[in-house]
């Protein structure tokens, strides 16, 4: 047992693992091949309590700690990164900002609908000229009477264009009098006139998750859709991304764990020159390195979760966890393909999907270069 986990954490791990292997694994290859988002699997994950896992019970969540949520994402990614991405984006980027900064009315209106699996919520940040540099945001919102009027577009948004999408937490630029434009957060429901979304197809990775773009043309929402305070969008975003980095780190750890297990199993059964290939040092040393990296990555991530759950600063540790798990996911997936040899290059082998899925981990939620800057600021 990991020193950061308790009995309930390991029991949750086994329950989510059983769910992922019985419900998700049989569908993963087909959904990836067809590039199809599955509302059915999303609803099942909601019924399993994975959506809203760390949301208070009064809003329909399970009110578990950060580590429980991270373990759940890790176990999903061990089988299929697409389903893990759906959960991570919904929980970390969708629900948490509403929980942290929403009014009582906003929380009561939205959160109970978002913990059952019947609805998903998105987070709209990235644009053509904005992403890591949120100051480049060109989507605007101006006040006309009792409404915000929004114009602009966002892209690379998870959970934005599927049938379950209820709305999006939108980062926009607002201007108050003669003051400079400032980043502000507004909630926009799907179906609002002027709000259109479209799925982006042709992805290399996470092909069964919903990635899309959204446009806003004179989209009008009530002033009470403001999340938190005007001009505080940058602060909200940075805090949200700290938590988001933990969930992306969990995806990297889970993917690496799954790839390692596949490689280890194959190395026990594949024989060359009369004995299993894991008896040869060339393969045994690869597996040993994978095992070591997984141990270090899990301890790094779980420590960051412990800090968050104990109300300690964790920005640096979250950046470290996300950076390191992303890198070992790449390294372990690559070495796992090497262990499989030529068979690892064909689509009927799950390791091929894992090799593709790991690539986004070095890009999403901050590139490796940005994460190193975050870490360096603490030195």
Catalytic residues: 365
183 touches 134 (CB < 8 A): yes
Closest CA to 31 of 257, 262, 206: 206
The whole-angstrom separation of Cα 9 and Cα 240 is: 24
Residues paired with residue 236 on neighbouring β-strands, in sequence order? none
Query: Cβ neighbours of residue 154 under 8 Å, at least 6 residues apart?
Result: 124, 125, 126, 127, 139, 160, 168, 170, 213, 214
Q: Hey, CA dihedral for 373, 324, 77, 9, is it positive or negative? A: negative
What are the structure tokens assigned to 261, written together?
């297990």
The whole-angstrom separation of Cα 246 and Cα 251 is: 9
284 touches 263 (CB < 8 A): no
Q: Hey, CA dihedral for 78, 80, 83, 85, is it positive or negative? A: positive
Residue for token digits 């209106």? 109
60 touches 115 (CB < 8 A): yes
Q: What percent of the residues of the chain are helix, what percent strand, and what percent coil, each to the nearest 5?
A: 55, 15, 25
Closest CA to 358 of 335, 334, 338, 324: 334
Q: Helices 281-309 and 233-269, interaxial angle, to 10°?
A: 150
């Amino acid at each position: 047992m990991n020193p950061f986990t308790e009995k309930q954490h390991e029991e949750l791990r086994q329950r989510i693992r059983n769910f992922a292997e019985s419900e998700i694994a049989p569908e993963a290859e087909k959904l990836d091949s067809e590039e199809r988002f599955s509302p059915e699997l999303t609803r099942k994950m909601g019924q399993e309590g994975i959506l809203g896992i760390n949301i208070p019970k009064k809003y329909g969540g399970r009110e578990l700690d950060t580590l429980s949520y991270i373990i759940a994402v890790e176990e999903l990614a061990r089988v299929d990164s697409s389903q893990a991405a759906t959960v991570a984006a919904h929980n970390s980027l969708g629900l948490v900002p509403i929980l942290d900064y929403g009014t009582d009315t906003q929380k009561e209106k939205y959160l109970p609908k978002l913990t059952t699996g019947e609805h998903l919520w998105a987070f709209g940040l990235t644009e053509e000229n904005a992403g890591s540099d949120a100051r480049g945001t060109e989507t605007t919102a101006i006040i006309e009477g009792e409404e915000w009027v929004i114009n602009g577009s966002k892209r690379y948004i998870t959970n934005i264009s599927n049938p379950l999408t209820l709305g999006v937490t939108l980062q926009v630029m607002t201007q108050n009098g003669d003051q400079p434009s400032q980043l502000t957060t507004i909630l926009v429901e799907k179906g609002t006139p002027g709000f259109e979304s479209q799925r982006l197809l042709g992805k290399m990775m996470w092909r069964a998750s919903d990635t899309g773009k959204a446009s806003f043309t004179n989209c009008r929402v009530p002033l009470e859709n403001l999340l938190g305070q005007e001009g505080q969008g940058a602060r909200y975003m940075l805090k949200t991304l700290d938590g988001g980095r933990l969930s992306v780190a969990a995806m990297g750890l889970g993917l690496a764990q799954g790839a390692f297990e596949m490689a280890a199993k194959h190395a026990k059964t594949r024989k060359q020159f009369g004995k299993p290939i894991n008896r040869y040092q060339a393969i045994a040393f690869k597996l040993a390195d994978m095992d070591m990296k997984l141990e270090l990555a899990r301890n790094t991530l779980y420590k960051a979760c412990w800090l968050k759950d104990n109300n300690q600063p964790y920005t640096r540790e979250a950046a470290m966890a996300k950076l390191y798990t992303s890198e070992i996911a790449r390294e372990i997936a690559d070495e796992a393909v090497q262990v499989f040899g030529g068979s690892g290059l064909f689509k009927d082998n799950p390791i091929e999907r894992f090799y593709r899925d790991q690539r986004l981990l070095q890009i999403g939620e901050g590139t490796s270069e940005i994460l190193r800057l975050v870490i360096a600021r603490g030195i």
